[in-house]
Amino acid sequence: MLNKIKIDSESRLSEEQKIKDRRRNVIILIQRYLVNSGYIDSATKLGTESNLTLNQYDAADNMDLYMIFCEFEQFYEMKFMKPPKLVKKVDGQSTPGLPRIPSSGKSGSNNSSNSNNQNAAGSNKKNAQQSKEKDNNSKDAKNEPDSLEIQGTGVQQKQQNNEDANHKDWFDPRVLKGLPDYSDVPEFQQLAAYLQRDICSENPNVKFSDIAGLDQAKRLLKEAVLVPLKYPHFFQGILEPWKGVLLFGPPGTGKTMLAKAVATECRTTFFNVQASSVVSKWRGESEKLIRVLFDLARHYEPSTIFIDEMDSIMGQRGSAGNEHEGGRRMKTELLIQLDGLLKSKKRVFLLAASNLPWDLDIAMLRRLEKRIYIPLPDQESRESMIRRYIPQEMSENLNYPQFAEALKNYSGSDIKLVCKEAAMKPLRRLLSQIEDIQNLTSYDDVRPGPVTETDFAEAMNQVKPSPSVFENQYLKWEKESGSC
């Protein structure tokens, strides 16, 4: 026993020593870089402030910071097929936790004293370094906007700084963290790799503002995920954020879009699970898959798990006498995982969607704390969808309110189909004219004509609304079991 304590203590000390050495090395390498670049004052100040000077230690032969950066860039590019983002633009305002360096006054005088102290050799080297850095910076600037951020720790900070930034690369840095260690269970490793590849999606790039209407659902989802991530200290005790939300309603009304908007705007890692395909693909293994799914979501927190068609895996237990044993085990595992989620402090959020909420298992329903009805779009939402898909400049005086009224009972995805069909009509007319024109050398100035009222009316006749026989049933269920 004593021996074990001694070994543990020695290994802890050795780990601590390694960390100290690493920090010392970083300071020394920075000082050497500053001196070589002619920033003598800054190097001296750093030496004084850190109590570490180049008289005590110096960079080893053939070792300098610039070279380390180059090698890191090469390694990263080889591994991820793109250059790393090492620095990011800031807005010049204060950033939480980081003291800002004044941009004038003191630093200006530093610069001038710097120049006094520079020797010729240092100055030459500095110019060479600066031009090399300029090349690199301009290369970086093209690849803006995100910084290299590992583990998604600065979620709130990134939200403030990059609200309008292009979200293209936001997901990759978190994945840099690698998969959890399943070396003792290779089977789980395989499942984790599958989940990461096929289910853990890149930035879905849907904003709440892309979704027409559904204001109450948007408000609630923001309250459940976005606000607690931004202001975690308000959401303690009884105000713990919601962990499980059910979106129910007819098909094609924007449930998946809402889930994607949550993931995009809250910058959470997004796991998009199509329940029926998981069950058929992983028959017999699906309970393990559920376990690894929640493991991964915790690992890459903050995360959103979206399970579509929840009723296909969480139908009432035992109701179908011939229920598959594997299916039963999977349901149980899902309930266990949800219990864990509700108790844990990890920022993992489950969003489930169902067209048949009355078929859901009661135990499951109890764990989905909020149940929100996503109805067919109202007049205003229908009009805004038509305007988005066929904007005024594409149409010939379309009477938008009138067509929105005529599309009552159409879902969002039905409306999209109608608009697509209507927009195809002028294109078809154009294509048939092009076929008749001999010797057409350039298509550059050839454009389809506007969408006319007749085009739209014909498209409406062609695309019928998907039958929504359950509308009354949804309302009844919302009255009895909804919660928002």
Annotated binding site for ATP: 249-256
Look at residues 194, 364, 228 and name the one whose alpha carbon lies nearest to residue 296: 194
CB of 31 to ligand ATP, least distance (A): 55
Q: Closest distance between ligand ATP and the C-beta of residue 266, in Å?
A: 17
Six-digit token string for 2: 């004593």
Q: Going by C-beta distance under 8 Å and a sequence separation of 6 or more, which residues neighbour residue 377? A: 212, 213, 253, 385, 410, 411, 412, 415
* Site residue total, ligand ATP (CB under 6 A): 20
Contact with ligand ATP (CB under 6 A): which of 42, 253, 269, 337? 253
The answer to whether residue 377 forms part of the interface with ligand ATP (CB under 6 A) is yes
- Annotate each residue in 297-336 with x if it binds ligand ATP (CB under 6 A) or - if it does not, as one string: -----------x----------------------------
Member of 191, 214, 261, 296 binding ligand ATP (CB under 6 A): 214
The answer to the question of residue 36 lying near ligand ATP (CB under 6 A) is no
Q: Which two structure tokens, joined as six digits, stand for 459?
A: 């498209």
Binding residue for ligand ATP (CB under 6 A) from 224, 305, 385, 407? 385
Q: How far is CA 142 from the centre of its chain?
A: 22
Q: Which stretch binds ligand ATP (CB under 6 A): 37-45, 119-127, 177-185, 211-219?
A: 211-219
Provide, rounded to whole angstroms, the least separation between the CB of residue 257 and ligand ATP: 4
Is 255 near ligand ATP (CB under 6 A)? yes
Does residue 204 interact with ligand ATP by CB under 6 A? no
Report CA-CA distances (Å) from 51 to 31, 55, 110: 12, 11, 20
Our measurement of the distance from residue 431's CA atom to the centroid of its chain's CA atoms, rounded to an integer in Å, reads 40
- HEC-encoded secondary structure of 355-408: CCHHHECHHHHHHCCEEEECCCCCHHHHHHHHHHHCCHHHECCCCHHHHHHHCC
DSSP letters for 132-145: HHHHHHHHHHHT-S
Bridge partners (DSSP) of residue 95 are: 98
**Which tokens is 257 given?**
């879009």
Residue with the shortest CB distance to ligand ATP: 412
Rounded Cα distance between 26 and 297, Å, is 34
Where in 400-419 is the site for ligand ATP (CB under 6 A)? Answer: 412-413, 416
Kindly tell me which residue out of 122, 228, 241, 252 binds ligand ATP, with binding defined by CB under 6 A. 252
Nearer to ligand ATP, 18 or 207 (CB): 207
| Nearest to ligand ATP of 141, 484 (CB atom) | 484
Binding to ligand ATP by residue 375, rule CB under 6 A? no
In what side-by-side order are the strands of the sheet with 303-308? 200-201, 269-274, 303-308, 348-354, 244-248, 370-373
Residues 441-480 touching ligand ATP, rule: CB under 6 A, are none
- Work out which of 212, 261, 279, 407 binds ligand ATP, going by CB under 6 A: 212
Give min distance, CB of 286 to ligand ATP, in A: 20
Least separation, in Å, of the C-beta of 250 and ligand ATP? 7
Interaction of residue 211 with ligand ATP, rule CB under 6 A? yes
Is the CB of 212 or the CB of 262 nearer to ligand ATP?
212
Minimum distance from residue 387 beta carbon to ligand ATP (Å): 11
Considering the complex, what minimum distance in angstroms separates the CB of residue 79 from ligand ATP? 34
User: 307 and 255 in contact (C-beta within 8 Å)?
Assistant: no
- Other CB atoms within 10 Å distance of the CB of residue 98: 9
Q: Please work out, in degrees rounded to the nearest 5, the angle formed at the alpha carbon of residue 281 by the alpha carbons of 277 and 282.
A: 115
Q: What is d(CA 331, CA 479) in angstroms, rounded to the nearest whole number?
A: 26
> Shortest distance, CB of residue 253 to ligand ATP, whole angstroms?
4
Distances (CA, A) of 305 to 219, 222, 263: 19, 15, 9
Out of 196, 256, 286, 395, point to the residue binding ligand ATP (CB under 6 A): 256
In whole angstroms, how close is the CB of 389 to ligand ATP at the nearest point?
A: 8
- Of 251 and 326, which CB lies nearer to ligand ATP in the complex structure? 251
Report the DSSP pairing between strands 348-354 and 200-201. Answer: unpaired
* Residue 274: strand pairing partners: 308
- We find the least distance from the C-beta atom of residue 207 to ligand ATP, in angstroms, to be 11
Site pattern 162..201 for ligand ATP (x: CB under 6 A): ----------------------------------------
Applying CB under 6 A, which of residues 241, 254, 302, 357 lies at the interface with ligand ATP?
A: 254
Q: What is the largest CA-CA distance in the chain?
A: 94
Position 213 contacts ligand ATP (CB under 6 A)? yes
Peptide bond before residue 302 is cis, with ω within 30 degrees of 0: yes
**What is the dihedral sign for C-alpha 338, 339, 342, 348?**
negative
> Does 355 sit near ligand ATP (CB under 6 A)?
yes
Contact positions vs ligand ATP (CB under 6 A)? 211-214, 251-257, 308, 353, 355, 377, 381, 385, 412-413, 416
